[in-house]
Amino acid sequence: MSPTYYLLLSALLFCVGAVGVLVRRNAIVVFMCIELMLNAVNLSLVTFARVNGTLDGQVMAFFVMVVAAAEVVVGLAIIMSIFRTRRTASVDDANLLKY
């Protein structure tokens, strides 16, 4: 077995997350799918760090985690404020900026 399999797994999980973002209509589940995609990229970064023998990939993954945490906070606050005004968490109903 070679570390390539980790990259394959991360690619597959990224695709599953992308399909989830496109298919699901609940804003919170869409958000969780985005988290899955970020995690998949993190796994490939860690694998690259191991293959290359340097720690830079791990530092990159660390920064991705920080950015993801900030993104989750702001995104969930936006979902909450949309829910307060529209009483829904579905992405189909937040269409005020559509036309």
Partner 1 sequence: MSLSIFAAAVSMLEAASTYSAPGVVSTGEAVTFWILGPLALAAAAGMVFARNAVHSAMCLIAVMFCFAVFYIVQEAPFLGFVQIIVYTGAVMMLFLFVLMLVGRDSSDSVVEVLRGQRLAALTFGIGLAALLVAALGRALVAVTPAGLGEAGSINNVTGIGRLIFTDYLFAFELTSALLITAALGAIVLAFAQTAAHAKRGQRATVTARLRGEHDRISPLPGPGVYATANSVAVPALLPDGSVAPESLSEIIDSTPVREIEQPEPDAHALTGRPAHLDEAGDLR
Please list every residue from 18 through 77 that binds partner 1, using CB under 8 A.
18-20, 22-26, 28-29, 31-33, 35-36, 39, 42-43, 46-47, 49-56, 58-59, 61-63, 65-74, 76-77
- Structure tokens, 31: 């958000």
Q: Does 6 bind partner 1 (CB under 8 A)?
A: yes
- Structure tokens, 20: 């989830």
CA distance 79 to 88: 9
The tally of CA atoms less than 13 A away on the side-chain side of residue 64 is: 19
Cα 1–chain centre separation? 28
Q: Min. distance of Cβ 45 from partner 1 in angstroms?
A: 9
Q: Min. distance of Cβ 9 from partner 1 in angstroms?
A: 5
Q: Does 16 bind partner 1 (CB under 8 A)?
A: yes
Q: Does 96 bind partner 1 (CB under 8 A)?
A: no
Q: Min. distance of Cβ 35 from partner 1 in angstroms?
A: 7
Q: Give SS3 for 30.
A: helix
